[in-house]
Structure 1
C-alpha cells in the first residue's frame, strides 16, 4: 500500500502553517489543550505530508469532522464539547507513528482514532503505556493476532473493520455468485494474481491461494509487481498470455490503478473479469481514470452502505465536502467517533480508560459502514459473509459487509452482496 497518494490539493497543504489552518473547528491545532473549557479530547493521527495514505487519512479526518460538528451542535457529550487533537503521521514509518502517539499522550487525550498505519505494532506498543482507547481501521490480522495473544497489553486496541485476509477468502465466493447469477460467463475457471510485494498485499494473495482449492476456481498464474509501477504494458501482456477468466490486481494505489485501466482498456484480455483490490475507493481513481474506469470491479471490507442510513450519510457528507466522495474511511471516521460517544456516555467519565475500553469490548454499534462488534479475542469487526474465517458473520446485521463495486457510468455501484446490491454486474466494455 505504498504510493504518493494526493487528493486534489491536499499535498499543497504540506507546510505546517497551511496544514493547521486546513483543520476546521472543532479541531485543536497541534497538541495545545484548550484552556477556556474542559473539552473531551480525541487524538486523530492524520497523514498530512507523507507519501502514503494521505487520501484515506483525509477521508477519515473529514468523517471525524462531520461527526464532531454534529455531536457538538447537539450539546456535546456529557455536557462537554469534543475536540480533536490532530498530529501528523507517516503511515510507513514506525518512528513517525511513535512520535505521533507520544504527542497525543502529552496532550492527555481521552481516546485515539486513526485510519491506519503500515507498521502497527510499534504504534500500539507506545499507546499501551497510556491505555486510552485506541480505535483504527487497520485491516491487518497480524496486529489483531497479537491482541488475541496479549489481551492485557492490548485491551484498549480495537480494529474497526475486518482484516485483509477476507479479500482473499471472499474473491472465489464473489466469482461464483456472479457466475451463478448469469451476469458473468467466465472464459475459464482460472484466476490470475498480480501482486504487490508489501506484507498487506502478500497476505491477501496467500489467503486467495489458500481459498481457491476449496472452490471451483483454480490458480492460473502469479505475476509480481513492485511499487512504483513504471509501465503496466508488460503486466498486461502477461495477463493476456496467462488468459485467466478472472484477474486480481492485488495492489491498492488509486493513481497507479488509473494508469493500469487506461493501458488495459486499450489492449485488454477480452472477456476477463478484472478486479482491482481496494484502491478505486480513493477519489483520485475516478478523477484520473475518466471513461477508462468503466466496467472494472473492486471491493472493500470497510465501506459506506447504500441502505437508508448509508444514503443519508452520503448526502450530508457530500454537502459538507463537495466533490467525489471516498466510500471507505469517510464513514469509518464518522462511525468511530459516534462509537466513542456512546461509550463515553455509558461510562460517564471519558478519563476512565479501562471502563470505556471494557464497554466498547462488550457493546456493539451499527454505523453507516455496518455492524461493529469487538466482543471477540481479536477485537476486530466480524466479516459478512462468513467464509469460514475465525471471525465471520452469517447474518448481515451481525457483521460488516465486504462491498463489491463496479464502475458504471463513472459511479461506483454495489453489485455484491445481494442484500445490499444497487445494480447487477454489467458487461464490461472489453467483454
Structure 2
C-alpha cells in the first residue's frame, strides 16, 4: 500500500510539474510579414511594430493564462501563391497558436493553407475575395477573420464623403465631375467599380467625368496630370495604393495642378514614406482608410506610446491594426481557456466586442469580417470608422466622419 501511495504521489507530482511547465510555455503568434520587395514592407512593418508593442504590454501585465506571448516573425513572399502557402504552412507546422497578418496580395492561397488546421487567423486584408471565399464554405474557413471590411466600401464611402463635405458648407465644387485614375489590380478595380456605382446612385448629383488607367509601377505621372487637366473635374480620385508612387504624383502635381480640384489619394498616404518622400508636396491632399488609428483619447495615447517606441513618421493604419489584433487574440485565449483549442478560440473571436485604437470590433457572421461606420451602421461606436484625413502642416489630420473629426477641412494650396 505504501508503495502504491508513493507511486500515486510521484505520478501526481509529475502531472503537476508537467502542468506547471506547460503553463510557462509561450503562446505563439505567427506573424507573416514582408521584409523586402516592391510593395508591402511599410504596412507589414507597421503591423509587426503594433503587435510587438501590444505583446510587450501584455507580457508586462502577466501574459495570458499565466503564459507569456511570443511573436514568431516569418519573412513572407506574398507576391506568389506558393510563397503564401509556404509561409503560412511553416508557421502552422512550427506550432503557432494563431496567425496575425496585415494582408496578403493574393488572399486565397493563404486562406487555403490555414483552413485545414482550423488555426485562428486574423488579418486586415480589406478584401472582398476573403468574404467571397468564406461564404463559399463557412465551415472550412470558420476561424479566418478579416478584422476590417472589404475594399468596395472605399468607393461607397468616398462618394458619401464628397456629398457630406458639400452639405457641410466646407466645399463648393466647380462642377459635378469625378475623374477616376485606376490601377489594374483587383483591389483598385473593385474600388473603382464601387465608386462608379455609388456615383450612379446619386442620380446626377455627381457624374464620372473620365476614367484613366495606370499600370504599376507608374514611372511618369505627366500623362495622367494632362488628362486630369483636360477633364477639369471638381473631384480627382487617384485609385492607387503605393505610397512612394503617390508621393511622386504629389510632387509632379504640385508643379502643375488642376485649379480648384479636390484631390483624393486612395489609402497609400497612410504609409510613413508618403510624407517623407512627398517633402511637403502632399499638403492639402485628402486620403481615406476604413481601418485607421483614431485621434480620440485612446488613439492619441496609443500614438504617443508608439512614437516613443518607434521614433519617426508613424503609419496611420496597420500600426493600430496590429496592436488591436494582439489584444483581440489575448482576450479570445482568456475566454477559451486553452490556446490549443482552435475552435473555442475561433468562437471567442466570432463573439468578441472590443473597442481598440482603430475603432470597435464586432464580427459580422455573414462575412466573418468587421463592420464599417458610417457605411454599414449609423452608430459610431458599433464599427470601425471610415476615416478621411487631410495633410495639414505636413501631418495627417482627421477631417471626417463625425464624431471623430480632429480638424476642419482647409482649402489646398493650389486653390
- TM-score > 0.5, shorter chain as reference: yes
Contact 2:24–2:66 at 8 Å: present in 1 too? no
C-alpha displacement of 1:319: 0.4
Of residues 295, 311, 320, the one that matches 1:322 is 311
The DSSP-based 3-state class of the residue aligned with 1:366 is strand
In structure 1, what is the Cα distance between the partners aligned to 2:121 and 2:69? 16
Secondary structure at 2:74 match in 1? strand
The residue number in structure 1 matching 2:199 is 212
Question: Equivalent of 1:131, from 85, 94, 118?
Answer: 118
> Which string of whole-angstrom CA distances, capped at 9 and with x for unpartnered residues, describes residues 205-235 of structure 1?
0000111011221111000011111110110
Q: Provide the C-alpha distance between the structure 2 equivalents of 1:79 and 1:281, rounded to a whole number of angstroms.
A: 36
**Superposition RMSD on alpha carbons, in Å?**
1.3
CA–CA distance in structure 1, aligned partners of residues 288 and 189 of structure 2: 17
Counterpart for residue 218 of structure 2: 229
Partner of 2:136: 149
- For each residue in 1:76-111, what CA deviation from the matched residue of structure 2 results, as whole angstroms up to 9, or x when unmatched? 000000001111112221111101111111111110
Runs of 4+ in structure 1 over 4 Å off: 34-37
Does the CA-based 8 Å contact 1:363-1:375 persist in structure 2? no
Does structure 1 retain, via aligned residues, the 8 Å contact 2:146–2:368?
A: yes
Matched, 1:371 2:388: no
* 8 Å Cα contact 1:52-1:91 kept in structure 2: no
Deviations along 1:25-84, one digit per CA (max 9) or x if unpaired, are: xxxxxxxxx999511011000101232200000000000000000000111000000001
1:165-176 residue pairs with structure 2 within 5 A?
165-176=152-163
User: Are 2:240 and 1:251 aligned?
Assistant: yes
Equivalent residue of 1:66, what SS?
helix
Q: What is the aligned counterpart of 1:56 among 13, 38, 43? A: 43
Instruction: Report the equivalent of 2:324.
Output: 335
Q: 1:52·1:90 contact (CA, 8 Å) conserved in 2? A: no
Using the alignment, how far apart are the partners of 1:353 and 1:398 within structure 2?
Answer: 26
**Equivalent-residue separation in structure 2 for 1:38 and 1:416 (angstroms):** 45
1:78 counterpart = 2:65 = yes
Task: Indicate whether 1:242 and 2:208 are aligned.
Answer: no
CA deviation vs aligned residue, 1:226-274 (integer Å, no higher than 9, x gap): 1111110110000000111100000001110111011111101100000
Compute the displacement of 1:375 (Å).
Answer: 3.7
Aligned with residue 191 of structure 1, among 143, 155, 178: 178
Are 1:165 and 1:203, in contact at CA under 8 Å, matched by a contact in 2?
A: yes
In 1, the alpha carbon distance for the partners of 2:275 and 2:92 equals 38
Query: Which position in structure 1 is the counterpart of 2:9?
Result: none
Shift of 1:163: 1.2
Cα distance change, pair 36–379 in 1 and its aligned pair in 2 (3 A): closer
Quick check: 1:347 aligned with 2:367? no
Match of 1:397 among 381, 387, 397: 381
Q: Deviations over 1:178-214 (max 9, x none)?
A: 1111211111010000001011000000000111011
Residue 24 (structure 1) aligns with: none
- In the alignment, the residues of structure 1 paired with residue 36 and residue 239 of structure 2 have an alpha-carbon distance, to the nearest angstrom, of 25
Structure number with greater Rg is 2
Give the TM-score normalised by the residue count of structure 1.
Answer: 0.90
What residue in structure 2 maps to residue 22 of structure 1? Answer: none
Aligned to 2:89: 102
Q: Does the 8 Å contact 1:50/1:91 carry over to 2?
A: no
Partner of 1:31: none
| Alpha-carbon distance in structure 2 between the residues aligned to 1:423 and 1:185 | 18
Shift of 1:303: 0.2
Equivalent residue, structure 2, for 1:409 = 393
Q: What is the aligned length?
A: 393
Deviations along 1:115-162, whole A, 9 cap, x unmatched?
000111111101111111000001001211221231101001000111
Gaps of 5+ in 1: 1-33, 387-391
- 2:104 alignment partner, SS class: coil
